[in-house]
C-alpha cells in the first residue's frame, strides 16, 4: 500500500513538474521588473498575483495611486525580492530560521470573482455494514462529524454570499467509494483553499499534493508533528497549547504581582508546557518581585502541597501540564479542600475545564483561572441571531466542529482583500486567529487564547488582563439574560 502511495505521489510530482517547469527551475536566472503599467480591468490583487508579490506590500509602495484609485495607464512600483542562492524553489531550508526573521505573509486568495473551497471529509461511503445491516459505530460517528463540518462551511458560505462574495463549495470523500471515486488532483487544482481530511494518515497524503500547488490547506483536526512539518501552506486551526502556557505564565506574573507563585511540575510528558509557562512568567515578572517556585510532583500525587499551606498568606498554585496530570490534580483538589480555611488561588491548563471530577466548591474557592479558546459573546443578541440560519439548516445548534469549520471559512475569506463586495465580511464567532510559524517549511499555528476566571458560578474574562498589573478579584455574577441562559450555551449552565 505504501509503495502504491509513493508511486502515485511521484507521478503527481512529475506531472506537475511538466506543467510548471519554469517554477521548479533555479531562481538565480530570473529577472524581476521594477514597474508595472496598469491595463484595463486589472485589480490590485491581479497585479500582485501576476508578479508574485503581496497586495499590501504593493499598495504600500504606491500610496498616491492607492489614494486616488487604480486606473489604466498608472505605473506601479513593484517590490523587489531578496537575492537568493542557486537553489531549486521546492528545496526547503535544513534549519528553520527564527520566526521574526521570516519574510512571509499570509496568503491572498481569489479566483476571478468566486471563492472556491474544497472540503475533503471522511463520509466513508466505502464501508461495509455489519451483520444485521447496521454500520460500524466509528463510521457512523465520523459521518456525523463530517456532516457537522460540512454544515458549518455551508453556513459560512451563506453568510459570505449575503455579504456580496460569491462562494463555491465542493465536498468530496476522503476515501474511495464503491466506484473508486474520491478526491483527486483536479479537485485541488480547482480550489482556492482546502479543508481536511480529518484523519492524519489521509491528511498526510493530501498535504503532499497541495504543497506542490501552494494551496492554503487547513488541518482541522490534527496537529501531529509530521503535519506541522509539511510546509508553510498548512494552517492548523487548533490553538497551540504552548501559546496557552505562555499566556498563563504571563497572567500569573502580572495578576499576582507581590505574591509567591508555585508551579507544580512533573517534568515528564508536558515538560514543554511547564518550561513555556516558566519562561513567560520570568519574562513578565518584575525583577524586584519573588521568582517562580518550582515544586516537583509525580503525575499521580501532589506531594508536599499540604505542608506548604498556612494562614500567613495567599497561596497561588499553577498547573500548566494537561491531561497527563489528571490524577495529580484530583489529589491536589483533596488537599486544597481539606484546608478550605486557607486562601488559595489556582491557574490551570485549558483541559481542566473538561475534568468532570473537579468540584464546584474548588473552582469557587480557588477562583480558578484557565486559558479559553472560545471567544464567542453569548450575551450578544447579534451572535445569537447569526445562529438561526444554521438552526434552520440542521434543526439544532452548531457543534464545536461546525463552529470551527464556519470560522475557518470566514478566516479564509478575510485573505481575499481585493474582492469588490458591498458589505463588510462577517467575522468568526467562536475562534480568533493569530498566526505564527516556527520556521521556514513549518505550518502556521493559531496562537489565539483568552484568560477566563471562574467566579460565582460563571466563567468570565479575567478582570486583570495580561497587560495590566491589577490582581484579579471576585467579579459580580452577570445579570440574568434569557437568550444567554436558556438557549443552548457552551458553558453548560
Residue 32 has pLDDT above 90, yes or no: no
Peptide bond between residue 309 and the one before it cis (omega within 30 degrees of 0): no
Q: Which helix (H) or strand (E) holds 118?
A: strand 114-121
Query: Are 201 and 410 a contacting pair, CB within 8 Å?
Result: no
* pLDDT over 90, % of the chain: 39
Mean pLDDT for 239-251 is: 93
Mean pLDDT for 135-153 is: 88
Give the pLDDT score at 349. 96
Query: Are 323 and 263 a contacting pair, CB within 8 Å?
Result: no
Bridge-partner residues for 219, per DSSP? 236
- More confidently predicted of 124 and 217: 217
The whole-chain average pLDDT of the chain stands at: 78
Tell me: the pLDDT tens digits for 376-387?
Answer: 887 788 888 999
Mean pLDDT for 92-114 is: 48
- More confidently predicted of 267 and 438: 267
404's grid cell: 470551527
Give the pLDDT score at 345. 94
Residue whose C-alpha cell is 526547503? 92
d(CA 490, CA 246): 25
Pairing of β 435-437 and β 369-372: unpaired
Query: Are 204 and 228 a contacting pair, CB within 8 Å?
Result: no
457's grid cell: 458560578
User: In which order are the strands placed within the sheet that holds 315-319?
Assistant: 293-296, 261-265, 315-319, 344-348, 369-372, 450-455, 458-461
Tell me: the pLDDT tens digits for 147-184?
Answer: 999 999 999 999 998 888 889 999 988 877 666 667 88
Q: How confident is the model at residue 218 (pLDDT cuts 50, 70, 90)?
A: very high
Give the pLDDT score at 98. 36
Q: What is the 3-state secondary structure (H, E, C) of 344-402?
A: EEEEECHHHHHCCCCCHHHHHHHCCEEEECCCCCCCCHHHHHHCHHHHHHHCCCCCHHH
Give the pLDDT score at 430. 92
Give the pLDDT score at 467. 41
Which residues lie closer than 8 Å to 447 by C-beta, 6 or more apart? Answer: 239, 240, 243, 434, 435, 436
Alpha-carbon separation of residue 156 from 170, 265, 271, 422 (angstroms):
14, 42, 38, 17
Q: How confident is the model at residue 30 (pLDDT cuts 50, 70, 90)?
A: very low
Q: Is the pTM of this model over 0.85?
A: no
- More confidently predicted of 236 and 105: 236
Chain centroid offset of residue 86 CA: 35
Residue 78 has pLDDT above 50, yes or no: yes
> What are phi and psi for residue 36, nearest 5 degrees?
-140, 130
- Angle (nearest 5°) at CA 408 between 403 and 410: 100
Amino acid at each position: 500500500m505504501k509503495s502504491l502511495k509513493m508511486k502515485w505521489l511521484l507521478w503527481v510530482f512529475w506531472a506537475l513538474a511538466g506543467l510548471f517547469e519554469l517554477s521548479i527551475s533555479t531562481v538565480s536566472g530570473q529577472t524581476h521588473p521594477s514597474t508595472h503599467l496598469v491595463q484595463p480591468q486589472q485589480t490590485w490583487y491581479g497585479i500582485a498575483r501576476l508578479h508574485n508579490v503581496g497586495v499590501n506590500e504593493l499598495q504600500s509602495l504606491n500610496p498616491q495611486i492607492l489614494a486616488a484609485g487604480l486606473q489604466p495607464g498608472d505605473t506601479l512600483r513593484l517590490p523587489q525580492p531578496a537575492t537568493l542562492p542557486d537553489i531549486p524553489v521546492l528545496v526547503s531550508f535544513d534549519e528553520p530560521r527564527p520566526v521574526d526573521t521570516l519574510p512571509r505573509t499570509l496568503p491572498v486568495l481569489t479566483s476571478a470573482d468566486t471563492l472556491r473551497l474544497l472540503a475533503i471529509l471522511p463520509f466513508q461511503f466505502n464501508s461495509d455494514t455489519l451483520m444485521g445491516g447496521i454500520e460500524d459505530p466509528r463510521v457512523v460517528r465520523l459521518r456525523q462529524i463530517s456532516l457537522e463540518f460540512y454544515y458549518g462551511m455551508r453556513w459560512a458560505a451563506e453568510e459570505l454570499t449575503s455579504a456580496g462574495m460569491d462562494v463555491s463549495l465542493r465536498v468530496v470523500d476522503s476515501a474511495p467509494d464503491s466506484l473508486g471515486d474520491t478526491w483527486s488532483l483536479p479537485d485541488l487544482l480547482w480550489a482556492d483553499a482546502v479543508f481536511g481530511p480529518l484523519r492524519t494518515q489521509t491528511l498526510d497524503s493530501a498535504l503532499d499534493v497541495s504543497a506542490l500547488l501552494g494551496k492554503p490547506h487547513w488541518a482541522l483536526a490534527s496537529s501531529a508533528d509530521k503535519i506541522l512539518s509539511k510546509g508553510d501552506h498548512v494552517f492548523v486551526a487548533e490553538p497551540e497549547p504552548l501559546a496557552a502556557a505562555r499566556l498563563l505564565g504571563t497572567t500569573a506574573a502580572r495578576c499576582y504581582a507581590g505574591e509567591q507563585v508555585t508551579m507544580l511540575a512533573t517534568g515528564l510528558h508536558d515538560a514543554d508546557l511547564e518550561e513555556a509557562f516558566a519562561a513567560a512568567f520570568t519574562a513578565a515578572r518584575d525583577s524586584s518581585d519573588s521568582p517562580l517556585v518550582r515544586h516537583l510532583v509525580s503525575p499521580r500525587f501532589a506531594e508536599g502541597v499540604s505542608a506548604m499551606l498556612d494562614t500567613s498568606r495567599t497561596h497561588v498554585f499553577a498547573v500548566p501540564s494537561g491531561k497527563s496530570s489528571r490524577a495529580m490534580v484530583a489529589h491536589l483538589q483533596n488537599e486544597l479542600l481539606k484546608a478550605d480555611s486557607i486562601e488559595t488561588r489556582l491557574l490551570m491548563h485549558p483541559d481542566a475545564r473538561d475534568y468532570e471530577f473537579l468540584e464546584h466548591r474548588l473552582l469557587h474557592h480557588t477562583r480558578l483561572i484557565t486559558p479559553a479558546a472560545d471567544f464567542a459573546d453569548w450575551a450578544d443578541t447579534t451572535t445569537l441571531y447569526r445562529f438561526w440560519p444554521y438552526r434552520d439548516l440542521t434543526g439544532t445548534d452548531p457543534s464545536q466542529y461546525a463552529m470551527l469549520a464556519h470560522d475557518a471559512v470566514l478566516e479564509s475569506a478575510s485573505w481575499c482583500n481585493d474582492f469588490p463586495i458591498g458589505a463588510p465580511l462577517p467575522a468568526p464567532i467562536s475562534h480568533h486567529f493569530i498566526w505564527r510559524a516556527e520556521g521556514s517549511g513549518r505550518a502556521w499555528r493559531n496562537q489565539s487564547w483568552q484568560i477566563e476566571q471562574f467566579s460565582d458560578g460563571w466563567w468570565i474574562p479575567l478582570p486583570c488582563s495580561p497587560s495590566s498589573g491589577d490582581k484579579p478579584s471576585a467579579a459580580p455574577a452577570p445579570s440574568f439574560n434569557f437568550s444567554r441562559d436558556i438557549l443552548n450555551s457552551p458553558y453548560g449552565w
